[in-house]
Structure formats: structure tokens, C-alpha cells
């Protein structure tokens, strides 16, 4: 009498094993990319120039009058941070929205002696020509 050996589970299901392995690698790669995007966006939105400019815009009466309340962030926007020879610079565009309209906060700042000095902090309302300057009583570059 001849004994018939049954194939191993891996030999019987090699297609599922290969497909599942590839899918697992793709899912892990996607999770890694999503985590990286989250960390970068969290670092940007938690930076001092970002928080400072957003708070100034939310508290400004003219911005509130044009956008309405509540004023919320409307996406990530564009950011550029650089560090050269001990000096940090930041250029940000922060999209915000209210019930009445949408706008952007534009920020250009430089960190000198561990303090941020702002070239520009203003709000540009969609459809409006005027810019709302938010730099009242801010240290400027002429103060250093």
C-alpha cells in the first residue's frame, strides 16, 4: 500500500501567501507614509510662528467682521522653514475660513537671538483688495 503525502499548507496556498505578503507590505508602507505626513503637519501647526499668526487672526476684529465666527483652519497651506548660520526663517501661508468667507494668513518671520521677529503677518481675504496687517506692536527686524 502506497502512502500519499499531502502537500503542506504553504504549497497548497502559495498564491494567497504571496498576495497577502505583498498586500501586507503595501499596507505597512501606507501606514508609514501617513504617519510621516501626520508628524510633519503636527510640527508645522505647532510651530511658534504658525500658532502666533493664527491666534492674532482669530482675535482681530476686522477679520472676524469679514469672515464671521468661528474662524477655523482650512487645510495645511504652504510652509517653508530654513536654518542657516544660526538663523531660522519661516514663510507660511495658513488657509482659514469662517461662515462668511475664506482667506489666508501670510507670515514671514526670522528667529534672531531666540526671539521671532516678523517681517509680515497679514490676512488676505478672498475677493478683497485690502490686506489686514496683524503686526501691531510686534518686534520688527529694526529692533535688533
Asked whether the predicted pLDDT for residue 91 surpasses 60, the reply is yes
d(CA 133, CA 121): 6
Instruction: Name the residue among 97, 109, 101, 98 with its Cα closest to residue 51.
Output: 109
What pLDDT does 39 receive?
Answer: 84
Asked whether the predicted pLDDT for residue 141 surpasses 50, the reply is no
Please report, for the chain, the start and end positions of each structural domain, with discontinuous segments joined by +: 12-40, 49-143
Q: What pTM does this model have?
A: 0.72
Look at the domain 49-143 and name its fold.
Answer: Nuclear Transport Factor 2; Chain: A, (3.10.450)
Which residues are bridge partners to 94 per DSSP?
105
What are the tens digits of pLDDT across the range 47-83?
889 999 999 999 999 899 989 999 998 887 888 888 8
Amino acid at each position: 500500500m502506497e502512502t500519499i503525502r499531502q502537500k503542506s499548507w504553504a504549497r497548497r496556498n502559495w498564491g494567497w501567501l504571496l498576495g497577502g505578503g505583498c498586500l501586507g507590505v503595501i499596507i505597512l508602507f501606507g501606514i508609514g507614509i501617513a504617519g510621516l505626513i501626520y508628524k510633519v503637519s503636527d510640527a508645522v501647526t505647532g510651530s511658534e510662528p504658525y500658532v502666533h499668526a493664527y491666534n492674532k487672526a482669530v482675535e482681530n476684529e476686522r477679520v472676524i467682521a469679514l469672515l464671521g465666527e468661528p474662524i477655523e483652519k482650512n487645510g495645511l497651506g504652504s510652509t517653508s522653514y530654513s536654518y542657516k548660520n544660526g538663523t531660522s526663517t519661516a514663510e507660511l501661508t495658513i488657509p482659514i475660513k469662517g461662515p462668511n468667507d475664506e482667506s489666508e494668513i501670510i507670515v514671514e518671520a526670522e528667529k534672531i537671538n531666540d526671539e521671532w521677529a516678523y517681517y509680515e503677518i497679514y490676512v488676505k481675504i478672498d475677493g478683497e483688495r485690502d490686506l489686514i496687517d496683524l503686526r501691531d506692536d510686534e518686534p520688527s527686524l529694526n529692533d535688533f
